[in-house]
Amino acid sequence: MFSYKPLLEKSSAPVVITALLVLVFLAWLALRPTRAPRPLGGDTPATQFAASRALPVFKYLSQAPRPIASDSNARARQYIVERLQSLELAPQVQTASAQKTNVGYLGDYHVSVGVAHNIVVRKAGSAPDRARRPALLIASHYDSAPDRLGVGDASSSVAAMLETLRALQHGAALANDVIFLFADGEKAGALGARAFAQQHPWAGDVGLVLQFDAAGHSGPLLLTGSRGGNGKLVTGWIDAAPLAVGTSALAILARDAPALLKGGPLDQVGPAGMRFANIEDNTDHSGGAGLAARAAQGTLQHAGDTMLALTRHFGNLPLANIASADMVHFELPLVGQVHYTIEHAWALTRLVCFMFVLACCLAIKHLGLELRILVAGAMCFLLLALALAVTAISLWKGIPGLHSDYHRLGAGARDRWYLLAYVTLGIALFIELQRVLHKTIGSVATTLGALLVLVAALVAGSWFSPGATYLLAWPLIATLLAYGLLQNPSVAALPQLARIAILLTGMAPAIMLFAPLLQQLSTLFTAERSALLMLALSAMLGMGTTLLAAMRRRFVAPLLLMVCAGAVMTAQQTRHYDSGIAAPNRMTYLNDGYSWKAWWIMPAEPLDGWSRPFFASAVNGPREVREVFGMTRKEQWVAPAPRNKIAYPDIAVLKDDDNGARRRIMFTLRSQNKAPTIELRVEGAYTLASRLDGKLLTDKTASAFRMSVHGTGAASHKVELDLASGSVARIFVEERIPGLPDGAGGARPAHIPLSEMTVSSDMLVFR
């Protein structure tokens, strides 16, 4: 069977160096950044997309945050409408109320309600039967989170949509109607998209939805997901897009990744849809013009080229039957997109299972492998992967200095060096733990046990997530073929370097497919989920247990040197990064009606030169603000602030009845400040039901309840809450207004981003 013994002998230095160089080259080839197209200038033909023509829109929208119902949001909306009108189009502003309810794993409820202002424009098609043909919908959002400048919140997508419309106005008319949706309230529960899907009459005309977002400033535009049967969609995208980037595995990551665009309410519109986003450099740490200057124009050009090409392609196709059988698709360096149907994915899974069963039968027959030892090897591999995951979490939480500015700067803060250190440390630990397994249960059980786990994962993935099966199917086929070759006596007699070359060839698909996944995991997920990165790394290393065993005596030292190099480069480049770019200033002015005090508050992060004087009295550093925020266990910078004319929330209690089973509380709530957002949360008692202005919001028991009301100005609301009896309930109310009060804080440097917040709060206590 498998000729492992020669491979486990001490490897010579030239063999180790050669193998290491080959592995590094394969990883470099897989991680080589996609080359963005050259940004085109203003002299580009009018029918083409030019980043230079879209850049002014991008710069304008990146000047300040644009949360729903804020003044900056209204200015952005007016700006977009005027740009559309200048293109001789007739935009509409859909003003509608919408509601979104999120239910957490622990039974906590968050209800978002508000008024959204969508911008919609319809470009008529030229087909004689266009009235009966489904329309194409191009969608993004123009709002941003309150504490972000909006660069990672679709500024570039809006700019690309406007430039795409301009190019379409100068080109031949498309056969289908094309609807462009600039949605509001994406960061408030996708209220705008929800209002369009549920209330706008054009929503019923749509046959295909193309959604675009910008989760970062740079990187290529990725296809992050699709729905409704993507066979024709994927082939159309590959044929039409000038540079097709993305894999079907991204749709699996998008279910939990905060940085990826999710379908949301627009999944209810039309029978099919595709979602696109760029995710690299997901930071927000520079001011308006400076940030726009940093943004990669090549990214904007690629997004616009893709949007325009897909609009023309699908705008001329009959969309009535656009949905078809799903496809698996992925990228290969030097090859491009590879795609095949789900049926072929199942065929590959069956082939892998047959090859693995054959390998196990031969090992049992010729090497005396026992099934219980094989199962033990599988369990040990699972424990090894779990150990790496726990190590990843422990390193992050136990040694915050490894990446001290992550929570302030976010993904993209020179994380490539950090990823190198993290991954190489994981490889070194894997090799050392694997060495123990080889001594305990033998090399055959260690190798086949790891493959048993991966084959089982492939079968499960074929049922539940077929789009990600390529990550395991092709590497397993290559690995099993390599092992099959090594059992041949003539191959076993080859020199050690030749046999290791066979194993390298067998491991190459794993590196080529998993290396980009590791980079995407490090970019998309927060540090607390770094365990996912180690689990994916374990899957890749499981394909090469025999190779790593052969290399282990000389492999670990260079890996540890790479760990040190990555850590040093991370520290040096992050310091350089910090010195050149200002972080967003999340200063909050809190006017608290319950304590009749005012506070300056900031997250517990390093203070800059402008904010440091505000907290001169905070000699003990950040602390919890329980008297205002309750039991949050979140430390913040806190210092007294002067009082001003900001009004407290206008609250009047109308009812407080307790019948022993439930307590009904009713009060009116009004913002004299006309705050864009009002936040309400209940602590100390279960919420059994809730109503706003007579409309039922929730009727299930909530362990924690929070409500956000957006865009209602100075309107008075009647809030009704049914709470569990027998507890002291506290109801916190906060009015959130972007910016600081006039005259507060003194003169501020122009380069510090405008992302502050004024909060007027009060608290009701029911004993």
How distant, in Å, are the alpha carbons of 408, 411, 519, 609 from that of 283?
9, 6, 16, 21
- CA end-to-end distance (rounded Å), the chain: 76
pLDDT, one tens digit per residue, over 527-580 is 556 788 888 989 999 998 877 766 655 566 666 666 666 555 555 554 443 344
The residue ranking higher by pLDDT, 275 or 254, is 275
The superfamily (CATH) of domain 51-98+116-332 is Zn peptidases (3.40.630.10)
Instruction: Tally helices (H) and strands (E) across the chain.
Output: 21, 22
- Residue 84 one-letter amino acid: L
Which residue type, as a one-letter code, is found at position 431? I
Residue 532 pLDDT? 82
Mind giving me the DSSP string for 450-498?
HHHHHHHHHHHHHHH-GGGTHHHHHHHHHHHHHHHHHTSHHHHTS-HHH
Q: Is the dihedral of CA 373, 379, 382, 383 positive or negative?
A: negative
Q: What is the average pLDDT across 414-427?
A: 72
Question: What is the distance between the alpha carbons of residues 551 and 561, in angstroms, rounded to a whole number?
Answer: 16
Q: Tens digit of pLDDT for each residue in 104-128?
A: 888 899 999 999 999 999 999 999 9
Q: Give the C-alpha separation, 201 to 92, whole Å.
A: 12
Tokens standing for 135? 């329309």
Place of tokens 């008529």: 124
Confidence label for 260 from pLDDT (cuts 50, 70 and 90) = low
Element spanning 388, H or E: helix 371-398
Tens digit of each residue's pLDDT (9 = 90 or more) over 14-39 = 777 777 788 888 888 888 877 778 88
For residue 190, give the 3-state DSSP assignment: coil
Chain centre distance of CA 43: 36
What pLDDT score was predicted for residue 399?
A: 65
* CATH code reported for the domain at 585-767: 2.60.40
Phi, psi of 739 (to 5 degrees): 85, 175
- DSSP-derived letter for residue 714 is T
pLDDT at 1: 35
How far CA 557 is from CA of 381, 387, 547, 554, 564, in Å, comes to: 23, 21, 16, 6, 11
Instruction: Report whether 389 contacts 396 (CB < 8 A).
Output: no
- C-alpha distances out from residue 524 to 277, 345, 518, Å: 12, 26, 10
pLDDT > 70: percent of the chain: 83
Residue 390 confidence (pLDDT): 87
Query: Nearest 10 degrees: CA dihedral of 417, 156, 292, 604?
Result: -60
| Interstrand relation of 597-603 and 623-624 (parallel, antiparallel or unpaired) | unpaired
Query: Identity (one letter) of the amino acid at 394?
Result: S
Question: Cα angle vertex 70, ends 64, 72, to 5°?
Answer: 35
**What are residue 705's DSSP bridge partners?**
109, 682
- Would you state the pLDDT for residue 257? 64
Q: Which residues pair with 691 in a beta bridge?
A: 696, 720
- Is residue 408's pLDDT more than 60? no
Query: pLDDT tens digits for 622-644?
Result: 887 766 665 556 788 888 888 88
Sorted by where each begins, the domain ranges of the chain are 5-32+341-578, 51-98+116-332, 585-767
Helix (H, G, I), strand (E, B) or coil at 367: helix
Average pLDDT, the chain: 84
d(C-alpha 633, C-alpha 721), whole Å: 26
354 and 458 Cβ atoms separated by less than 8 Å: no
**In this model, does residue 760 exceed pLDDT 50?**
yes
**DSSP states of 660-674:** SSEEEEEEEEE-TT-
pLDDT band, very low/low/confident/very high, at 697 (cuts 50, 70, 90) = very high
Which pLDDT tens digit goes with each residue over 526-535?
555 678 888 8
Q: Tell me, what's the pLDDT at 578?
A: 39
Q: Which residues contact 125 (CB under 8 A, 6 or more apart)?
A: 133, 135, 173, 174, 175, 176, 177, 178, 315
- What tens digit of pLDDT does each residue of 714-754 get? 999 999 999 999 889 999 999 999 888 876 665 555 555 55
Tokens representing residue 463 in the block:
């049922």
Structure tokens at 572: 């040096």
Per residue in 439-496, pLDDT (tens digit) is 888 888 888 999 999 999 999 999 999 999 999 999 999 999 998 888 777 877 778 7
Cα atoms in the 13 Å half-sphere on the side-chain side of 735: 26
Percent of the chain with pLDDT over 90: 48
Q: CB of 710 within 8 A of CB of 185?
A: yes
Contact 108, 702 (CB under 8 A): yes
- What does residue 43 show for φ and ψ, rounded to 5 degrees? -85, 5
More confident residue, 85 or 300: 85
Written as one string, the DSSP assignment of 255-285 is TT-TTS---GGGGGSSSEEEEEEE-BS----
Taking the CA of residue 655 as centre, how many other CA atoms within 13 Å lie in the half-sphere pointing to its CB? 13
β-partners of residue 666 are 655, 720
| Residues 6 or more apart whose Cβ sits within 8 Å of residue 386 | none
Give Dmax (Cα) for the chain: 90
Three-state DSSP at 627 gives helix
Which residues, in sequence order, are CB contacts of 689 under 8 Å at separation 6+? 696, 698, 699, 720, 721, 722
How open is the CA angle 411-413-417, to the nearest 5 degrees? 100
pLDDT tens, residue by residue, 667-693: 999 999 999 999 999 999 999 999 999
Reported as a pLDDT band with limits 50, 70 and 90, residue 7 is very low
pLDDT at 284: 47
Distance in angstroms (rounded) separating the CA atoms of residues 378 and 370: 13
Q: 3-state DSSP call for residue 689?
A: strand
According to DSSP, residue 596 is labeled T
CA distance 342 to 674: 53
- Total Cβ atoms within 10 A of residue 287: 22
Please name the amino acid found at residue 165: L
Please answer whether residues 718 and 653 qualify as being in contact, where contact means their C-beta atoms are separated by less than 8 angstroms. Answer: no
The pLDDT of residue 630: 58
Cα distance between residue 712 and residue 68, in whole Å:
11
Residue in 298, 336, 190, 277 with CA at minimum distance from that of residue 523: 277
Angle of the 530-542 helix axis to the 415-441 helix axis, nearest 10:
50
Q: Report residue 386's pLDDT band, with 50, 70 and 90 as the boundaries.
A: very high
Look at residue 510 and tell me whether its pLDDT is greater than 60: yes
pTM for the complete prediction?
0.89
How much is the pLDDT for 531? 80
